[in-house]
Structure formats: C-alpha cells, structure tokens
Amino acid sequence: MQTYIESLDEDRIRDAVQQAEERTAGEIVPVVVPQSASYEAVTWRAAAGATLLALTGVLLLLQFYEGWGLGWLYTPWGVVITALSAGILGAVLSTYVAPLQRVLAGDDLLDETVHRRALQSFVEEEVFATRDRTGILLFVSLREHRIEVLGDTGINELVEPDDWAEIVTRIRTGIQNDNLTEGLVEAIKMCGRLLERRGVNIRPDDENELSNTVRTPETPSDEERSSDEDADSKRE
C-alpha cells in the first residue's frame, strides 16, 4: 500500500486540481490513505477462528489417528501449543494479508469504516471551509479497495450521487493498472468537467480556498506548514 503512495506524482496531481478548478467554483481535495482502520476486532476474530479450527483438527486426529508418531498431541501441553500457535498464525495472517483481512471483515464493515474515515478527512482537511460550500473530497483507502467522493452542500445541490460513479471507476482503473497517479489525474479532470456541466460556475472573484496538494499520511497539515514557514521566517 505504501508503494502506491510513494509513487504518486504530486506535481501532476496538483496541476490537475489547479486546471480543474480554473473551470469551476469547486475545490477538489484528493486524499489517499494506506488503510482506514487497524481492524483489531478482525484480528481477534481470526485468532479465535484459527484456534477453534486447530482444536477441532486435534480432536478429529485423536479420534481417528492410530499411529504412534503424534504422541505429543495426547498431552495437555501439546494441545495448548497447537491451539496457541494456530491463534497467533491466524492473527498475523489477518493483519498482514490484505485479501484475508477484507474477507474476514466483510463488505459492510469495510464500507462503514471507510465512510467514517472519509468523513473524518472531510473535517480534518476543512473541505467545508469554502465560501459557497463547494468543496469535494476524493478519498482513496487502499487496503480496503474503497473509494469515496464526498461533496459539500453547495455541490450536492447540483450533482447527483450517481454522477460520481464514473469518477470512482476511473480511480479504481488506475489502481488496477498500478498507476494511481494517472487514475487520480483523469478523475480530477472528469470532476472539473462534471461540475462545469452541472452549473458549479466559477465566480469573477474566485480564489483558491483549499490547497491543491494530494493529502497522504506524510503530507503536513496547513497548520504545520504555517508553523514551518513562521519558523523559517524567524531564523531569517
């Protein structure tokens, strides 16, 4: 997941946002995160399931196996070690093997978690802080394979939820082609054309109200950037 983020061409994405916003009053904020949550409940679920499966296997083996090679399984410590090892293995696999984690989590939990994280980003990145409430969040959560587009009230009055489907598909195609940058750039361009068609018209006194930079976990916040600039000014 980190590879996708490290390979992002921030300059291309920034330019795409700038060009799209020159056509419309919309303020586009792309956000990419490796994952939306740690899914600790899924880890415990996997550990418990693996332990139960191992114990079931041990019981079946003790019931039907008539050989002499597994005598250690007939001891309490043998059963405990087997169950404990299976539980640890289940927990590790569910944490580090993304497809397994997605299966164990289920679509409903993934959808709910990513949506909640997207709403959090909407607030953290102050997508709401535009004059006419025309901010748009393009949110990509890589581990969950989920993409959300959240528009502020000024956007939602003119754009239907289904209008974002093609934009989401374009980002997903970019990820499938191992080119998230291309997917985001094309989606941002499509977003600008959509807003223009829907009448989110640019104002004569339009200003760039939100940063055009793609936000990732490594991206400093506006407050941090301001603090760094102030510190540089003091040193000068």
Query: How far is it, in rounded angstroms, from Cα 35 to Cα 78?
Result: 38
10-residue averages of pLDDT along the chain (236 residues): 86 95 93 95 94 90 72 78 93 94 95 97 94 94 96 93 94 94 96 92 87 84 48 39
The verdict on pTM exceeding 0.75 is yes
Q: Write out the two tokens for 201.
A: 């018209």
**Is residue 184 assigned to a domain?**
yes
Residues 27 and 6 in one domain: yes
Residues 68 and 168 in one domain: no
Predicted confidence at residue 72, as pLDDT, reads 72
Predicted confidence at residue 4, as pLDDT, reads 85
Predicted confidence at residue 234, as pLDDT, reads 35
C-alpha separations of 136 from 16, 91, 104, 125 in Å = 14, 37, 31, 11
**Is residue 129 assigned to a domain?**
yes
Residues 131 and 77 in one domain: no
Predicted confidence at residue 204, as pLDDT, reads 84
Residues 172 and 74 in one domain: no
Q: How many residues does the chain have?
A: 236
Query: How far is it, in rounded angstroms, from Cα 203 to Cα 227?
Result: 31
Q: Residue 162's domain spans which residues?
A: 2-37+120-235
Residues 126 and 208 in one domain: yes
